[in-house]
Structure 1
Amino acid sequence: MMIKTNLKTAFLGALLCASQLFAQEKVSNTLPWSVRMTESEMIRCPKSWQLDFQPKLKWDYCHGLELGAILDVYDMYGDKKLFNYALSYADTMTYEDGSIETYNPNELSLDRINTGKFYFRIYEQTKNEKYKKALDLLRKQFDSQPRTSEGGFWHKKVYPHQMWLDGIYMGSPFYAEYAFRNNRPQDYADIINQFVVIARHTYDPATGLYRHAWDESREQKWADKKTGQSAHCWGRAMGWYAMALVDALDYIPKHEAGRDSMLNILNNVAAQIKKYQDKKTGLWYQVIDRSGDKGNYLESSCSTMFVYTLFKAIRMGYIDKSYLQVAEKGYKGILRDFIEVDKQGVISITKACAVAGLGGNPYRAGDYEYYINEKIRSNDPKAVGPFILASLEWERLHK
């Protein structure tokens, strides 16, 4: 009983110390928004493995999204503590033989690939071979990843015959960067094909939008028996796809056959982002094809993803500069309607859908009622990461 009491006392003491530390830390309002959000996250999560509300070590896409964004802040503004924050996660999760804590290649889940993207820079700067081995391990998963009849990767082994827009972001930018850094031009056609196949099968000609997912087998209850498409365009799914386009294009040579197909898709994505932008706020709805309908709401993760995509696509010359008005209106809307600042200067981003998917157990039907009733929370990394990225683009534009 004494041991249990002492452990409980120690735990409560640690919590008290953490809360006191949080109360003492401040974030200056003179800093750029990207730095303010980064410092706020580091206060909320003193250890980088704690990101995404994690109580224990986990290898998943949210850490990669957010730590990659934090490394971008480091690249732009310096401050070694930002690099060390990202490095500590990499070091904690990676063994000397390149194996990764909690990563199981046999799951064949594209969600497990995304975090590897920030390892390219960790390896570049540390030259520690365990990170190169980890990158090779993640790349090897593509050799076994099940595919549709047209060569599109299944989202996960447990989701047979299905391609999700989410999965393109989770796998293809990593695949493209690995090919670029390791002199594998033979991979570019396969990478481009991932974007083209899912665009072909999720495109809704009635709206111009891309629906969340496609089931080639038409076996899922959420899949249309004729097209295999899911019922709706979920904002964040299209946001993932939009970011995947601008990020993968960084590494695909301009002369590569089929690259123009990606640019054509990106230009349609940009046109739909503009078309469905809420005229009053400059933001976007959780379910894009039901924008403004009862129960629908303006959602922060898709809004930040769309703004980042537009800013970057304009900077890189992928889309017309006229989209700058759309991006700036969206960014100002994010600051006005989603960003909150406490007395210590710590900032939060609100109104993010915690998670949404299709199928599984319990079964997710992907109907309108499902999407609008999923949990909403603040400081979800799927909004935090894209907000940092969008802010960096804004800051680069206005330097």
Structure 2
Amino acid sequence: MLETKSAKDLWAVKTAASIMERTPELYEENGHHGKWSYDYGVVLKGFERLWQVTGDEQYAQYIQHNMDYFIQDNGSIRGYRIQEHNIDHLNNGKLMFGLYDRTGKTKYKLAAGLLREQLLSHPRTSEGAFWHKQVYPYQIWLDGLYMGTPFYLEYLLRWEPEEDLLNDVTKQFILCVQHTRDDATGLLYHAWDEQRVQPWSHSVTGQSPNFWGRSIGWFAMALVDVLELLPAHHPDYPKLVEIFTDTMTALSTYQDTASGVWYQVVNEGERKGNYLEASASSMIVYAMAKGIRLGWLPKEWESVLNHAYAGLISEFVLETSQGWVNLYKNCQVAGLGGDARRDGSYAYYISEPIITNDQKGMGAFLLACTEYEYLLHAKV
């Protein structure tokens, strides 16, 4: 258990302060305004959780300041094009609910409605799973479950409360696992191609060839966020809990014994070039802590979690002389489309740039710290 600390000494608080001071505008990139990007939503969900547990208005203001650059008074979204049918573009929509509740401004509800509208025409596999993007046809990526399903579910529960539609959310997980799970390890492959035509796609299974840490992290976060919202009486609720416990059990098998965290390619810890990766490890810690708190994982998991959380701090975090939190060893990006190099091979995943303070990593780390320090241990 944690020792009792003052709020300013908690990693969640120090991380949030570092982000606000270093990047007051998340969308500023080298002096230019950035595009509508899912990264902001990962960071700002961390701020939203921290605001909810502390009541500190500066966190809510930071969310609003960053989203207001994009959300126009009529509910349109700067830089967003619905016809792209990119599931990533839904992630920031999760912030619209809290902004609407806090301010009462209609523009946030309208923006959420615009993003919801995308799913009405978003292309799907023959079984009804959303494609990752229109430019990546017939493909399910684990990443997309985090980007789309928690937003979709919360929108439905608030503004389209039809039980049948909730089945469309749970179906996304069930189909994804059906097509990406490896029976030997229990781990999930990064992606699946229904058509078996992508260079990375196995000719029989359609699966990509490796277990990328962050993609499984995205999936685990998506599951706990959806389970937190999904009515417990829903017929698929037990199935999603089973998928979650199965996935976390598989991940625990590949937890690095010495450090407590996870590798970029999860099951290849001994292989040359592999490295312990911050964003995936943070996502797994967040999902595990939330799973314990909400009762989907038994209390015995706390020892696994404590080892992992200590590993996050010791392996990836360094404070600067001015007290800013730096998060090291983040894979910058890893996808399975766009050029021949992105072939899903082991060599590809370990060749992508490794950077410090990546927004996806910082957001996931903030979520993990908030869940662990405030919500699971309730120390402040």
Q: TM-score range by the shorter chain?
A: over 0.9
Report whether the alignment pairs 1:218 with 2:210.
Answer: no
Alignment partners' CA distance in 2, 1:374 and 1:319: 33
Partner of residue 39, structure 1: 17
2:272 and 2:366 mapped to 1: Cα distance? 30
Distance 2:69 2:340 in 1: 33
Equivalent position of 2:369 in the other structure: 391
The 3 A distance-change label for structure 1 pair 355 and 54 is farther
AA in 2 matched with 1:31: D
Which of 52, 63, 69 is equivalent to 1:86? 63
How far apart, CA to CA, are the structure 1 residues paired with 2:243 and 2:30?
34
Percent of pairs identical after alignment? 43
1:251 aligns with 2:229: yes
Change (3 A) 1:311 1:360: same
| Contact 1:222/1:359, CA 8 A, preserved across alignment | no
Q: Deviations over 1:364-394 (max 9, x none)?
A: 1110000001000011111111111111122
Is 1:339–2:322 an aligned residue pair? Answer: no
Structure 2 CA distance, aligned partners of 1:244 and 1:395? Answer: 20
Counterpart of 1:11 in structure 2 is none
> CA RMSD, aligned part only?
1.5
- Aligned equivalents of 1:80, 1:193: Cα separation in 2: 37
In structure 2, C-alpha distance between the alignment counterparts of 1:386 and 1:200, rounded to whole Å: 26
The one-letter code matched in structure 1 to 2:24 is P
In 1, Cα distance between the equivalents of 2:196 and 2:226? 29
CA distance in 1, matches of 2:66, 2:163: 31
Question: Is 1:322 aligned with 2:324?
Answer: no
TM-score (norm 1): 0.90
Q: Quote how far apart the aligned CAs of 1:359 are.
A: 2.1
Aligned equivalents of 1:136, 1:358: Cα separation in 2? 29
**Counterpart contact for 2:7–2:13, Cα < 8 Å:** no
Aligned length: 371
Contact 1:48 1:88 (8 Å CA) reproduced: no
Q: Secondary structure at the match of 1:282?
A: coil
Q: Which residue of 1 aligns with 2:136?
A: 159
Aligned to 1:269: 247
- Give the C-alpha shift of residue 361 in structure 1: 2.9
1:191 aligns with 2:191: no
Matched residue SS, 1:163: strand
Measured after TM superposition, the shift of residue 260 of structure 1 is 1.3
- Cα distance in 2 between the residues matched to 1:292 and 1:121: 44
Q: How does 1:339-358 map to 2 (within 5 A)?
A: 339-358=317-336
Partner residue of 1:207?
185
Distance 2:122 2:31 in 1: 27
TM superposition shift of 1:30: 4.1
**Contact kept in structure 2, 1:48 and 1:85, CA below 8 Å:** no
Residue 217 and residue 54 in structure 1: after superposition, are their counterparts in 2 closer, same or farther (change >3 A)?
Answer: farther
- Cα deviation digits, residues 106-157 of structure 1 (max 9, x gap): 0000000001101110011111111110000001111101111111000000
Distance 2:30 2:328 in 1: 15
For structure 1, which segment, 176-185 or 351-360, has the greater mean C-alpha deviation from structure 2 after superposition?
Answer: 176-185
The structure with the larger Rg is 1
Paired letter, 2:251: I
Q: Tell me, which stretches of 5 or more residues in structure 2 are unaligned?
A: 1-5
Q: Distance in 2 between matches of 1:116 and 1:29?
A: 29
Aligned to 1:106: 83
Q: Distance in 2 between matches of 1:47 and 1:315?
A: 33
| 2:338 corresponds to | 360
